[in-house]
Amino acid sequence: MAYSLAVSATDRTYPILANLVSRPGLDLQPQRIGLEEIFKRQANEAAFDIAELTLGSYLVALGRGEKRLTAIPVPLMRRFRRDQIYVSSLSTLRRLADLRGKRFGLPEYQATPGIWLRAMLRETGLENQEIEWFTYREERVPIDTPAKRGKERGIPEALLAGEIDAGFFPRRLAVEHFPLNGKGGALRRLLHDPWKEDRTYYARKKFFPIGSVVTLRAESAEADPALAGEVYRLFADAKIRAVEGIMDIGQPAAMDPFLAESLEYSFDAMGADLWPYGFKANWPEVEAFIGYLRTDGLLDRSLSPEEVFHPSTLDT
């Protein structure tokens, strides 16, 4: 039987999409699809045997009785997010603490980056109710939230129109509003040096914020008890290939003139395993994230490891 697999194209998934890694007896039909489409189809339809899914929507769905999916501890997406908070260049806002009483835009209230950002804001002393939240698309998993639906098309447009004071935008802003060097546009980052604050956060918390995990159709995992473990090992093999590729600085894997410097800085700050897979390495962060969901009112109970991850992967 061939299992459908849907992932976005990254250095962690390319070895699978290009059939550079495989597992004995694991027959896959890999598909490269945009993240938003994967997330929507997997959250709403459980459309793929194997697919990445945003952590927030997956856990919210579990809390609301979702039984069609299980997951393995493979966080395909991780990202620090402070550099993706934007304001108008005319704004006087400069710090996270300046957001008290302001209007803040998110794509969705349950979007995983928003959950991380609200947790970080609470660490600076800002409670959720001290900010007026706006969202700009339907919630992926239908759920009530305190956010208002914005009238503009999206976060950049809302910032330019003055509908919100600050907003999170997950992609690079259009160059006409935010030049390639990040200077002189109509929009700017809230923080002068968000990366410094991210490094301080990591040194204190040891969290590299998880964005998505690999999910499996529960019925597929039940029909083949070895499936979850084999898929975990497949992604682990792909990660080895990815590390080998990015470490080959004689033929850089990315168009970054200072890639070697960035790698050495990252290893110095975070240790040898920059992108850990496995239950033991990731459960403390997932458990904290579950707590953040409960504080946000998106989850009304805790979730056990056995509910979140397939039992066969709990010893990883």
For the stretch 285-301, pLDDT in tens is 999 999 999 999 999 99
Q: Which domains does the chain show, CATH number per domain?
A: 2-79+209-313 (3.40.190.10), 82-205 (3.40.190.10)
Provide the sign of the torsion angle of the four alpha carbons 195, 267, 263, 285, taken in this order.
negative
H or E element that contains 7: strand 2-7
Residue 140: pLDDT band with limits 50, 70, 90: confident
Q: Helix axis angle, 227-247 relative to 259-270, nearest 10°?
A: 130
CB count in 10 Å sphere of residue 175: 9
Burial class (CB in 10 A: 0-12, 13-18, 19+), 202: middle
8 Å CB contact between 301 and 134: no
Our CA angle for 187, 192, 198, nearest 5°, is: 115
pLDDT digits (tens, 9 = 90+) for 66-111: 999 999 999 999 999 999 999 999 999 999 999 999 999 999 999 9
pLDDT digits (tens, 9 = 90+) for 224-261: 999 999 999 999 999 999 999 999 988 888 899 999 99
Question: Does residue 143 register a pLDDT over 90?
Answer: no
Provide the sign of the torsion angle of the four alpha carbons 130, 132, 136, 141, taken in this order.
positive
Question: Does residue 309 register a pLDDT over 90?
Answer: yes
